[in-house]
Structure 1
C-alpha cells in the first residue's frame, strides 16, 4: 500500500462513519433491541447500515485477501475502528464480535470448519459472538458448568446457559456462530479442563446450506443503561438435548484458544474508551464555540462588555485541554499496540518478534483499563462543558457517557486488568517486556531532554518514569518479603500511574515532531513573532494542529505527570486500612 492508498481508505471509512452510521446513534438508542416470541430484533435503522458496511468489505479489512479481506495494516484498521466506533459503538459491536469469532476459526479451525463457517462470517453473511460468561461464572471461569458430551460421529452435545452475551441473538443475519466454552464429560475441573466449541444457531449442511435449528434458544435480553442497540442476551444451549457443537482446536485447550479473542476484545474495549472520548470531545469543542454565556473575564466589571462564547472562559479551556491531551495520548497508546502487531508480523528474527509481541502482551491490559476509565471521565467532562444541557437527551453527551460506562466493566473489570498487569504482566519473560518498554521511554527522554521548547517538560516525564520504575521494583521486593498484599491492594493505582507515564511518553514524542514541523511552517510563512504565529494558527490548519500537539504535551506534563511521584510515594506507605476493616465496619 502507498500512503495515498491508505489515506483514501480512511477517507472512505470516515464517509461511512459520518454519513451512514452516525445518524443511527440516537435512533438506535431510542428504539433499542426488542425480544418477542423468543426472537430478538435490532433497531430497524441498523439493517441498512449492516448491509452497506459489509458491501464495503470493512468487517475483514485487516485480513488477508485470501480469506476475503483487504490486507490492511492493523494500525490502519485501528483507525477505521475508531471512526466506526465513535459513530455508533452499539452497532460496531456486531461486526467486532463477528470478526473475533471468525478469527478463532481462522487460527485454530480445520479446513472443513473454515470453509463451513469462516468465509461467511468474514463477509458478514453470518455473525458471531463469544460465549464465556454463565450465571455462576463471571470473572471466574473455573466455575463454568456448560457441558459437552461426545457423540459417535465426533461431534458433541452441548448443554448449558450463557449470559451477558453481546450480539447473542439478532435479526441482522440468518445465522449466528457461537464459540462456546464447555467442559467435556470426564475432563478435569478448573480452566485446564475447558474446551472450545463451534455452535451455530442454525445447523449447517455439508453443502454449506442451512439446515434445522440447533437448539440454541434465547432466554431474554438485558435492559441496560447504555449500548441499547447491542443485543445482550441469555442463551440456553441444549434445552431439548439437540444442541450440536464441533470441537475447535484441541481438547482442554479452550482457554488458550479463547484468549486470542479475549485479548482482541480487551483491545477493542480500550478502543471503545477512545471512540466515545473522541466523539464527546468533538461535540464539546463545537458546543463551546457556539454557546454564548458570560462576559470575557478580562473585561472585568465593564458594563458595556458583551457576552462571549464559553470557549473563551479559562475553566472551559482547562476542561477541553484535559480531554484533548488524554485523548491524543490514548490514541497513540492504542495505535502503538496495533503497530506492535504489524511489526511482529514482518519481524525477521524470533527475538525481534518476541520483543514486539512482548509489548503487546504487557500493554493489552493497560489499554483496556486505562483507556476505558479515562474515556468515561472524558465523556463526563464533556457533559460538564455543556452544563445542564449535557444532562438532557436532546444532546448526545449523556448517551456517550451511558454507552461508555460498560467498557470499564466487561471483558474483565478494570480492577482485574490491573491485577493482571501487576501479577503477570510485569513478570513476563522474566521482566523483559517491562524493561524493554521502560527502555523505550528512557530513549525518548534522552532524545528530548535538551529540546529547547520541550526540555523542561521532558524532565517532568523523567521524574515520573523513574518513580514508576522504582515503584515496580518496590512491588518486587514486597513480594519477596511476603508482603504480597501491598501490590494487590495497590494494583489499580499502579495501572493508572503506568498508563499516565506511557501517555506522557507518547505525547512528548509526538510533540517533538510537531514542534519541528511548526517551526518550519513559521519560518516559511515569516511568522517570527508571537503575534504573527498566533494569527497564522487562525488561518493555517496545520500550524494550529501542530501547536495543539505541543500544547497537549506541555499541559499533560504539568497537570498529570507532576503528581506521579507523590502517588508512588503514597503507595510505598503501605497503608492497609481497607484490609483491616471488618465487614461490619463498612456498614457504618
Structure 2
C-alpha cells in the first residue's frame, strides 16, 4: 500500500505557480527566507509525516484512547511521533520566533500542515490546538499571561483546548451555566461542567491550558454576560514553573463512531471548590475573544476534510492501479482477453476523476485563504489588505462546511473504488470515512455555518464583500477567455457565477421578508452551491496557470501533469457545475414543503 499523503508536485504547483509564493519574499517580514528554505522545511515536514506520523494513524483507530481513574492515555506510538515533531520545530511555523515559532508565511505553513495534519488529524489535534489557545492569549492577555503561557503553547510543550459546550448549551452559547467568582488575588474561582471537549485530558503534554467560557456572578444574562478564562490543568506560577493540580477533572470520554485516537472529554470544574483561572481580556467579552479561536478552529476543521480526502484519494488511486480485475470493455466478449487494472474501467475512472477534482479544488481554496492571511497583514496596498481580510471572513464558513462535506464524500468514493475490500478493516479507507465525518459536526455543524453565512457573511458591508468575491472570480474568467482552449470553461463558470449572484439576491431578500423561514431552510444548499462555484473558480485559475506553463518547453512528465490539471478542470465544469446549477435553481424556488409538513406526517 502506498504511503502517500499529498502529492509534492501538486503542492509546489499551487504554491509557486498558481499563487506565486515567491512574491511573499518581497514583504519585509519574510526577507530572511528564500524559496530554497521554504522547500527544505516543507520537505522535512513531508519526511516526518510519512515516516513518523502516518504509521500512527491505524493505532489511533485500533488502540484508541483509554480512560482510567480520571486520566486519558493515548496510543503509545503517539508519544514518539509527537517528540519527533517537536524536535523538528514544526509545531508553530508561522508564529514569531520570540514565542518559539519560525516566522514563516501562513501559505508555507499550510503546506507543511498539509502533510502533518493529513497523516493523522487526531494526533495533530493534541499538538496544534495549543496554537489557538496561545494566539488568544497573545492577542488579549496581559504581559504576565503571555510570558506564562504563549511560548509553551506554541512549541507544544503544553497543549490547549476550548471549553465551550455544555449539555444544555450547545449551539446556544448564551445559555451556559458555568460561573466565575473573583478572588482577592485577581484570579477567579470557577464552577461548572463542559462536554465534547477535544483533547480535554491526555498524557502527551506536561500541562493542558483550558480557555473556559463562564459567567461572572452578577453579569448580564445571555451572550452579553459571558467572559473567558484561562484555566490550567496544573497551576502555573509567575516564573512559569508548575505548581499544584488545579481542580479541573476529566470525568469521562465519549465512545465515538470514529476518530478514536482523539479524546472527546467531559470536564468538571470546581467539584472541590478549588478551580482557579485568569480572566482573559475584559469582563463580558468572552464570545468576542473566543471567536478568534473558533474561526481558526473552523478553518482547521475544513482542512481536516480536505487533507483526509487527499489521503483517501491517493490510497484509492494506488489501489486502482494495482488491482487487476475484469476485461477491457472493448474486449469483453473475448474469452482470451487478459484482465486489466481497474483504473482502466470507465466507472472507476469517473470516481477517481471526481475525487481528484474535489481534492485539488479544496486544496487550492484552502491555500488561497491562507495566502489572504499573509496579504491581510503584509500587502503594500491598503485595498489589497482589506480585500484579503474580507475574503477570510466570507470564505471561512465555506471552507469549514464544504470541505468537511466534500471531504467525507471523497472518502466514501474511496471505499467504493476498493469495492468489498474498502468495507473491511484490512484497508485504511473505511477508517477515514468514520474519522472525517466529525468534521461536518463539530465547531458548529454545517447547518450553523450556513445560517452564519446567510445572516452575517452575505450582508457584510451591505453585500459589498460578497460582490467582491464575484468580482474576483470575474477577473479570472476574463483572463481565461483570452485563451481559446479555455473559452468553454470560462463560459461555464461565468454562468455559474451569474447564477450565484442571482441566488444570493433571492435568498438574501427572502431572509429579510415574511419568507425568512424558507430562506433558512435553504441556507445550507446555498452554502453548498457557493462552495461549488468557488472551487470552480479555483479550477479555472489552475487551468489558466497550467495552460500558460504548457507554452514553455517542459518535459514529457510535466506535460502530463499540466494537461491533467486542465482535464480535471474540464471535468469539474462539465460534470459538477451542472449539478450546482440545479441546486441554485432549487434555492431560488424557495420551496416551503419542509416547513408546511405537519409534524404528525413525519411519523
- Work out whether residues 391 and 398 of structure 1, in 8 Å CA contact, stay in contact via their aligned partners in 2: yes
Match of 2:11 in 1: none
Please tell me whether residue 73 in structure 1 is matched to residue 125 in structure 2.
Answer: no
For residues 107-144 of structure 1, what are the alpha-carbon distances to aligned partners after superposition, in whole Å with 9 as ceiling and x for unaligned?
A: 11111001111111112211111110111111110111
Of 15-24 and 427-436, deviating more is: 427-436
The CA deviation at 1:415 is 0.8
Match of 2:342 in 1: 310
User: Matched residue of 2:93: which SS?
Assistant: coil
Match of 2:393 in 1: 361
The CA deviation at 1:423 is 1.1
* Distance in 1, Cα, partners of 2:559 & 2:368: 25
Of 511-520 and 7-16, deviating more is: 511-520
For residues 203-226 of structure 1, what are the alpha-carbon distances to aligned partners after superposition, in whole Å with 9 as ceiling and x for unaligned?
A: 112322111111111101111111
- Work out whether residues 204 and 211 of structure 1, in 8 Å CA contact, stay in contact via their aligned partners in 2: yes
User: Matched residue of 1:560: which SS?
Assistant: helix
Query: Of 442, 447, 471, which aligns to 2:474?
Result: 442
For residues 294-341 of structure 1, what are the alpha-carbon distances to aligned partners after superposition, in whole Å with 9 as ceiling and x for unaligned?
A: 001121301110000000101000000000011111111111110110
* Distance in 1, Cα, partners of 2:67 & 2:117: 25
The CA deviation at 1:413 is 0.1
For residues 17-51 of structure 1, what are the alpha-carbon distances to aligned partners after superposition, in whole Å with 9 as ceiling and x for unaligned?
A: 00000011112211111011111111111111111
Over 3 Å counting, the alpha-carbon distance change for 1:28 and 1:475 in structure 2 is closer
Please tell me whether residue 30 in structure 1 is matched to residue 49 in structure 2.
Answer: no
The CA deviation at 1:350 is 4.6
Matches within 5 A, 1:513-552: 513-521=545-553, 536=556, 540=557, 542-552=558-568
Query: Of 454, 470, 475, which aligns to 2:486?
Result: 454
Please tell me whether residue 288 in structure 1 is matched to residue 304 in structure 2.
Answer: no
For residues 512-550 of structure 1, what are the alpha-carbon distances to aligned partners after superposition, in whole Å with 9 as ceiling and x for unaligned?
A: 1112222434xx66xxxxxxxxxx4xxx2x222111110
- Work out whether residues 135 and 162 of structure 1, in 8 Å CA contact, stay in contact via their aligned partners in 2: yes
Match of 2:28 in 1: none
Match of 1:213 in 2: 245
How big is the alpha-carbon RMSD for the aligned residues of Structure 1 and Structure 2? 1.2
Matches within 5 A, 1:175-574: 175-348=207-380, 350-521=382-553, 536=556, 540=557, 542-574=558-590
User: Matched residue of 1:165: which SS?
Assistant: strand
Over 3 Å counting, the alpha-carbon distance change for 1:247 and 1:370 in structure 2 is same
User: Matched residue of 1:60: which SS?
Assistant: coil
- Work out whether residues 266 and 365 of structure 1, in 8 Å CA contact, stay in contact via their aligned partners in 2: yes
Match of 1:90 in 2: 122
The CA deviation at 1:177 is 0.6
Over 3 Å counting, the alpha-carbon distance change for 1:572 and 1:206 in structure 2 is closer
The CA deviation at 1:351 is 4.2
Gaps of 5+ in 1: 526-535
The CA deviation at 1:149 is 0.5
Please tell me whether residue 157 in structure 1 is matched to residue 173 in structure 2.
Answer: no
Of 27-36 and 193-202, deviating more is: 27-36
Please tell me whether residue 132 in structure 1 is matched to residue 164 in structure 2.
Answer: yes
The CA deviation at 1:450 is 3.5
- Work out whether residues 467 and 564 of structure 1, in 8 Å CA contact, stay in contact via their aligned partners in 2: no
The CA deviation at 1:52 is 1.1
- Work out whether residues 174 and 223 of structure 2, in 8 Å CA contact, stay in contact via their aligned partners in 1: yes
Over 3 Å counting, the alpha-carbon distance change for 1:170 and 1:479 in structure 2 is closer
Match of 1:531 in 2: none
- Work out whether residues 72 and 263 of structure 2, in 8 Å CA contact, stay in contact via their aligned partners in 1: yes
- Work out whether residues 163 and 197 of structure 2, in 8 Å CA contact, stay in contact via their aligned partners in 1: yes
Query: Of 134, 140, 146, which aligns to 2:178?
Result: 146
Match of 2:75 in 1: 43
For residues 238-295 of structure 1, what are the alpha-carbon distances to aligned partners after superposition, in whole Å with 9 as ceiling and x for unaligned?
A: 0000000100011111000010110000000000001100000000000000000000
Over 3 Å counting, the alpha-carbon distance change for 1:326 and 1:109 in structure 2 is same
- Work out whether residues 231 and 276 of structure 2, in 8 Å CA contact, stay in contact via their aligned partners in 1: yes
* Distance in 2, Cα, partners of 1:329 & 1:132: 32
* Distance in 2, Cα, partners of 1:484 & 1:202: 48
When normalised by structure 2's length, the TM-score is 0.93
* Distance in 1, Cα, partners of 2:579 & 2:434: 29
The CA deviation at 1:480 is 4.5
The CA deviation at 1:475 is 2.0
- Work out whether residues 419 and 491 of structure 1, in 8 Å CA contact, stay in contact via their aligned partners in 2: yes
The CA deviation at 1:483 is 1.9
- Work out whether residues 220 and 233 of structure 1, in 8 Å CA contact, stay in contact via their aligned partners in 2: yes
* Distance in 1, Cα, partners of 2:422 & 2:337: 27
The CA deviation at 1:482 is 2.8
* Distance in 2, Cα, partners of 1:236 & 1:516: 59
User: Matched residue of 2:101: which SS?
Assistant: coil
Please tell me whether residue 119 in structure 1 is matched to residue 135 in structure 2.
Answer: no
User: Matched residue of 1:584: which SS?
Assistant: helix
Query: Of 580, 583, 587, which aligns to 2:599?
Result: 583
Gaps of 5+ in 2: 1-32
Over 3 Å counting, the alpha-carbon distance change for 1:349 and 1:482 in structure 2 is farther
- Work out whether residues 233 and 245 of structure 2, in 8 Å CA contact, stay in contact via their aligned partners in 1: yes
